[in-house]
Structure 1
Amino acid sequence: MKARSWCWLVFCVSVAGLMLTGCSQGIPKAPYLEPPDLMGQLANADLGPAAPMTASINGRDRPPSSETRTDIYPGSPSVPVQRKAFTGVSEARDGYYELNFADAELSELAKVIFRDTLNKPYVFDTRVQGRVTISTGGPVARNELLAVFEAVLQMNRAALISDGTLYRIVPDSEKSTQNVSIFDYKKERSEIGPGYGVSIMALNYVSTDTMMTMLEQLSSGQDVLRASIFNNLLIIRGTAAEREQLLELAATFDVNWMKNQSAAIFTLANAAPDEVISELQQVFRAEEQGKGLIRFKPIARLNAILALSDKPALLRDAATWVQRLDRGGAEAEGYYVYRVENGRAKDLAALLTASFAGGSGASTERPAEESEVAPTLAASQTSSSSNFNNASNKSSLNGDGAAAGPLEKRSGIASDGLLASSRNDNAGHTSDANTTLSGGNDASGVRITADERNNSLLIKASGRKYREILGVLRKIDRAPMQVLINATLAEVTLNDNLQYGVQFFLQKTKGLDGALGFTNGQSIDIAPAVPGLNFIVGAVATNPKIILDALAKETAVRIVSSPSVVVLHNQPATLQVGDQVPVSTKSATNLTASDPVVVNEIEFKNTGVILNVTPRINSNGLVTMEVEQEISAVARSTSSDTLTPTISQRRITSTIAVQSGQMVVLGGLISEQADQQKSRVPVVDKIPYLGDVLGANTERSRSRTELVIFLRPSVIRNPGDASNVAEAVRASMHSLAPQPAAWDMNVKPVK
């Protein structure tokens, strides 16, 4: 019994141990499992053919039946099944709807679309009446339902108005009185709202007037288009479809037509632009390749043609045809206007008339000296005189000096510059009348009129003749050159060291002649006056201060005047500092009256320092100057209240030629003045015979002075030369500034 119990106990313990062992091995530790290595599994997978498995047949397996099995699968019928017709709006698929209404009221259609489908607020005007039958025949997008509804309203004379939040269905006659939405085409181009509204488009390249003219032919009715000229805005009213159509057309026209456009300007020489353009249009209209692809515009101011095309090859063809057509009749007369740039129209008209029209014309006062060589100076004069009642008479002084000889021949004087004429001939005279000059019996038919007010020439001539005249005008109507003339007039007192004059002193001073680099009167560059001092100073010394300083060490030197003047080529310049002295030139006495009356005719004579100079410039910088220098004053012996004064003069009149920048010295005008002073002793001078010996003392003195003139011309051809001259003048002005006083170190500051 006990053995059986022990066996049963052992058996239970063994079974319990086996059960515990199985439980400990069978429960996996999920939280601690590593994730499977899929790539490793794929790499290690055996992809070879699997071995066939041995089938085991047991009692539960059944062998396949030997009878044939038939399965029938019925297909779709060949005739489509008729769907049941519907009325209203049905959603075909997401966002697409089908409409099917038969003889429905407009109000019913509006309710279905706005309330049931789109869920949008709307107001329906009861005056809108109508019935409609509509079937879309296919799905319609949700955003296109309002466009379909708007088309239905137009058929029933109604309109859809939207202010952005509420839709209103009103009669078509009242759509313009309703508040509508306004859309900016540029900002909301892809969102033109449905319904009747207003769209605004800013035009960039086309004017609103031009755009409205093009779009009015395409608009559906009146009062559709409006324009704002100030901002160049195009305003369009209408339905969404109408506005979208017109806006797209406007965007098509509002483009930069000049983009990728090539341009050419053809200046005509003979024909008028309008005539040539008409002929060019016929030529390119005949050629299919250029028809409508090139445009021509006249430029009347330039007598030219502007051509525009996006094909450069057509412009080259147009240039060829312009050359062929711009020939004109060589003998056809026409009127031409030439605007004078540098000269005077009156002078040019006289010269051209004498040259082309065969008439004598008016005198242009061109000096004979202006030739291909430098002028001769044989007419130079040096005079010193004391004249009674006539300040212009000259009496030559006799003295030593060689006769005047001709200058060395140099290159010709340039033809550029103004026509030679005096500016004083019409001083103070203003006339509105034009000067007309034409040939006498010449058959050329040239007629030239000078428009003095506008300084222009009106020329009547043939095309061939005008080209000749224009060629001459381009040569003679050129910018004139200018000359800056620096003059210094010095009066030198002649003492014992200079008793023979300034010229002798400069020649005998050792080293001064070579240092200054001047030539004496024997040079052929300048013909000496008879008598006188004539020097041309070279490039070493161009400032008279060098010579004046040398003279100041020996004697007293007084600067009479130092003027500077800028004058045009071949134009006179006058500089005068002095007084006008009244002189009686005619006297008459009326003897028939009881009280005789004396009538005097008075003229005023200019006295003082007077410089007259007329320069002429050639292409090499040689300046030929006609110089007239005068220093005059009323003689001391003449009473100041007399009308017949004695005027003492010292004058130089000469024509000289000197290179630009060189200095010429003119002189030799020696004036001598004798003074006598008598002094007496009171009482003693009244004793006869003894008074003349003891009571009186007579002193006699004699003073001699010589006038020396320094002239230095500087040619101004361009703005650069003018700037250099201005800098030189500014530098010379520094010498006039007061010098600062020397600093005294002993001066103590005031406490």
Structure 2
Amino acid sequence: MTQILRLNSTSKLRQGILRLVLGGSLICAAAPIGSVLAAPEEMATQSFGNFQNVELTTVIEAVAKLSGHNFVIDPRVKGKVTLIAPQGMHPDALYQTLLSVLSVHGYVAVDADGVTKIVPANMAKDQLPYRNNRETSEDWVTEVLDVSNVEATKLVAILRPLVAREGHLVGLAESNRLIITDTVANIRRIKSILRKVDVNNYGQFEVIQIEHAPADDLAKTVKGLIPKNQGGTDVTIAADERSNRIILTGDEQKRMMMRALLAELDVPTSSEGRVQVIYLRYAKATDIVQVLQKIASNQSLAQSGLGADEGAQSAPDTAVSQPDSNDKAPAAVGGTTVLMNDSKQLKERISIEADERMNALIISAPTQIVSALKEVIRQLDIRRAQVLIEAIFVEVSEDRAANLGVEWGVFGEQGAGLINFSGTLPTLIGNVGNPLAQAAALGSGVNFAAGQYNGNNGWAAFLKALNSDSASNILATPSLLTLDNEEAEILVGREVPFQTGSYTSTATSVTNPFSTIERKNVGLSLKVKPQINEGDEIYLEIDQEVSDVIPKGEAVDIQTTKRQIKTRVIVGDGNVVVLGGLIDEKETQVDSKVPGLGDIPGLGALFRSTDSSRQKTNLMVFLRPVIVRDNLKSDFYSRQKYNMIFDEQQRILQLPQRSWIKPGLRPQLPQYQEWRNDNATVAPVDTPAASAPIAPKAAPTQAPIESESSGFGDSYDAFYDF
């Protein structure tokens, strides 16, 4: 017979009783079916009857008798119901009717191991089994749903309103799954919705080539036409500026609409191109225009369907084709001719001009070529690094040059090279740190040596040491600042006339001789072309020359001496390269005599003498290149040079003033920062490397100094007269 068990929540032995009752139910179930339950045909014809305001448990008992289900009723299941049912209901329909009655009153039926538990709906999720194939539409179950293309945690907020109030929905981010507790019918409905939401729109995409307009502009226009309330999952639009293409992803129908819209917008304009003016910041327009013209030519060949090599070869192929060929060669030749014509027409539409006055480029070309050229300009128009080259030209006597050596020392872990003169020459920079007791003696025939100074004051100390040595003659100390990979030149000397030919005209009775003269530079010249390599190594092309005029003697024309070095070296940033070995030999003859007596013929030899001497000097060139990448470093070296002059002036001003100098004519330089502020358009600030340098104001024009003044450059000659 059918068993109905009411649970008493206060009974401590309810679980044991439940086992006994269930056992009895199983025993009864083992009895002949005919003795317990009526046959299905009888059950189908049995009258269920109508219930008017009866206890819910009474209805459950009636359903249990007619359907054969075993029910376990929770003590919290209470209430009165009214049920009107037709005659002759099938047991399955009768059970479904009971489930609907329970749902209306906030209760659910949970199947577990052949027993149907009737519990409050809010307790259902604690006792529900995982779904199987025997549930009906009103049964409560727990099911795990897989999500493939959308984040499960985002779907929780969308699907939660669709779940029953007593149901449960949670998303697992790790496995991208949903766990749902609800009726079978509602879960079926949610799964149907999930299939439409969980779609891979981004797996379907297409690329559209834009021919006549900028792809990024078209993409922005089309995006503006999509209503924001439609969401962003239907179709996505992205532009590739490099290839001037648009990428569409999303639903096929929406992509078809966007494809048609883009085709309507991608139409040629009246000018068949765009004209743009691009202002350059650092590059020179006349230099960069040549590069762009070559790139534009290659781009035009590529767009016409030919590569650069193919376009060059297609014309000869067309010329040698025979008209009487019976194969398909003429068709191929004709196609090539069309491509070449297209390329020619495209080239005619491309124009790149440079405006030197504004340092700008004017480009007229199809949109895709303009986009490609703009990217090239962006990469070329950058601030170039500069190289400051400090040089010392010094003549050292042969005796002193033989004692020249190089010693290497270390400041901590930084490693700095220090150059010393050993022997009789004064020490330029003392050894510090842990010097390596190795000295490479550089004799009079030295060709090359390299060293490095630690810090910026070593160069000034080295220069002072050379200047203070009587056996060293400093010829010049030039400084050159030039752009990377640009040649710089400095010349200190004079123009000397050289006779290149002579001619005497006798066309008339009067002889008219004349000579042709060519003036040449004689003195000290330095040409340097730096190139910054990887790792701040500087490649230097050096052309150094020292020339001088020698006494005429017995020569008919002017004679000069010339000492020249042409070399290529690689030096680290801030290191010093030494070039030497240019020896000059001077012979002097001094005649001494006693006035009057030395001129007596014969006996005069007793009262006069002749002394001859020879002196050899070694020309050495010290070069120190420093990389200057931004305004801060440029200002640092400018300040350093200015302070050297300022300190020297302060030293001279401490000397006793000569009586013949008018008081107030000794000019006084201002401090560097004060002078910089007075000569700048704006207050000095630390500008980044990409910013343009601040242009100084033009120096005011002043009349000759009549009174006291402290301006830089005032009474410049008077400064050096004393």
TM range (shorter): 0.3 to 0.5
Larger proportion of helix? 2
TM (normalized to structure 1)? 0.40
Name which structure has the greater RCO, CA cutoff 8 Å, separation 6+: 1
